[in-house]
Structure 1
């Protein structure tokens, strides 16, 4: 998606902003915007009801991973994470194998994430994942292994204080088998998890959703409004 505001920089020049679901962080005019999820609220009440639902959802598993291995990518850590998850048992970690088509519909993924404290978000074929936004939508704390998955992608929609909404584990530690991810996450207290989840639900969630085309949101800004307001603010600063 491209927007071309006719903003003169110098004589004969214009600035081009490009809105993408995966940006190149070194391209200063690329702006990352959230992947669309399946939930498109029609009203403020829809958002409030969803916030309450995910805050009260029982978290039966410590962590989960919805994805597939990348056997053709030897440096990819997914196979290690899947092995650790399967070894831990369902009460600790649940794995949804997307290679079999189990993730083609949103229900199994959202159900899994709503029952999990943490959701593993390793890179796949590219750094970003739609699953990041499915996990945030579900109140499941994303665990990142590469900063390009989210931290350098969505400055308008995610907090610059990454620890408020996520956990970071360096993928090199996983690749070199220096740690067990489940054991690392067990050390995060229940109070810390609740604080992170509350921040996701109340501070981030509304701005990550795309409202229904006929929505009437008054209290909240959806992802589109956040992007447009930031874009216009940037244009106004250059005038």
Structure 2
């Protein structure tokens, strides 16, 4: 696939450059850009597009190359699809970069900018440390980038010592938080532990509870509409869906003999006659095949969201997209993660919380707890979920003007980043 892939990357580069030039030439026309200007740092291609050429070189991972299509959205689920793609969450950096190039308030002048975007594909660059031959050198992840920022127009960085810079990272923050002081390497790189980057804002798929520079943004789902009728058509389908199943769990795990929440969910669902449905997503079989889980989610009132290796799940956003009320078992799964997109103060209006300890160790039955929720309350929660759908999806790049007026996950992430940077600069 060498020549074919090289041509694909060349076309991608040309589209990215042309899109950037168009936006730079008329950024402020008809737009109110006060306090919303963004400057995109011009980084050497080794920090972003060159990394795409390694998409098939990690033996412990599946081939990532098929998911580069459509600027990170992946290939369409089928030829006649208009909005559904086989999207891999690790492509968030590429998706975000493409959308950033059509942001209406770009400026070539970093002094004018209210925020500086680093188009660095940190998650893709991390793969050589996580899975490749450089796993023993993970403390070096990001060092080359910092050297470049110090050498190339250093006044851009020094103006606020990085406080006005932000980067998007298509993996959970845990994957970038290996302590620098460890003698024996553990999982992850040390990018977020480098003192050089303490001041930047990092948008990650999952943040840790304490570092103030991190903020979680939604996992990309497989739904990326390009115009308002396509979005409205999906919203109408979600509203019309008959919810004949009480609860659904789409995921893997739960087979261990050790007590845990996934095992409890699996046992309860297997013993339920018709109130609960299991969608086995073991070994990643659901990740790029949304039909497997979206149809059951459209038929269910509640979607169970237990933590896995880390607290958060892409399935949370798949569930919201399907109008299925998410059921959480620990607060770090979403409540303390996605405040820009899922307001923490309103969480009880669109989700259910059941402490996992009550289920695993005290015998609480999840289905009983859900059946006790009055139907009018369920209807109100579902209506609130419908309102959230447009704000947690990433619409397709180059979408229609009408759809562009509806704030999506990207728009809310940019707004939140501005507020975070402004607050930080006021405190300097």
- Point out the structure with max Rg over C-alpha: 2
Normalising by structure 1, we get a TM-score of 0.90
Query: In structure 2, what is the equivalent of residue 201 of structure 1?
Result: 386
Query: In structure 1, what is the equivalent of residue 241 of structure 2?
Result: 57
After TM superposition, give the deviation of residue 236 of structure 1 in Å. 3.6
After TM superposition, give the deviation of residue 233 of structure 1 in Å. 3.1
Query: In structure 2, what is the equivalent of residue 223 of structure 1?
Result: 409
Picking from 209, 215, 222, the partner of 1:31 is 215
Picking from 297, 306, 309, the partner of 1:125 is 309
- Separation (CA, whole Å) in 2 of partners of 1:119 and 1:31: 24
Query: In structure 1, what is the equivalent of residue 73 of structure 2?
Result: none
Count of matched residue pairs: 235
CA 1:101 to 1:26, structure 2 compared with 1: closer, same or farther past 3 Å?
Answer: closer
Alignment of 1:90-169 (within 5 A): 91-99=274-282, 102-104=285-287, 105-160=289-344, 161-169=346-354
Output one character per residue of 1:196-224: Cα deviation in whole Å (capped at 9) or x when no partner.
Answer: 1111111x111101010121324411100
Picking from 241, 244, 264, the partner of 1:80 is 264
- Separation (CA, whole Å) in 2 of partners of 1:75 and 1:33: 31
- Separation (CA, whole Å) in 2 of partners of 1:220 and 1:13: 31
CA 1:27 to 1:120, structure 2 compared with 1: closer, same or farther past 3 Å?
Answer: same
- Separation (CA, whole Å) in 1 of partners of 2:384 and 2:157: 37
Q: Which runs of 5+ in 2 are unaligned?
A: 1-92, 94-115, 119-155, 164-198
Q: Which runs of 5+ in 1 are unaligned?
A: none
Query: In structure 2, what is the equivalent of residue 234 of structure 1?
Result: 420
Query: In structure 2, what is the equivalent of residue 40 of structure 1?
Result: 224
Please give the root-mean-square deviation of Cα atoms over the aligned residues, in Å: 2.2
- Separation (CA, whole Å) in 1 of partners of 2:285 and 2:244: 20
After TM superposition, give the deviation of residue 75 of structure 1 in Å. 4.5
Which moved further from structure 2: 92-101 or 117-126?
92-101
- Separation (CA, whole Å) in 2 of partners of 1:23 and 1:100: 24
After TM superposition, give the deviation of residue 3 of structure 1 in Å. 4.5
Picking from 354, 357, 365, the partner of 1:172 is 357
Which moved further from structure 2: 61-70 or 17-26?
61-70
Q: Name the structure with the higher helix share.
A: 2
Normalising by structure 2, we get a TM-score of 0.52
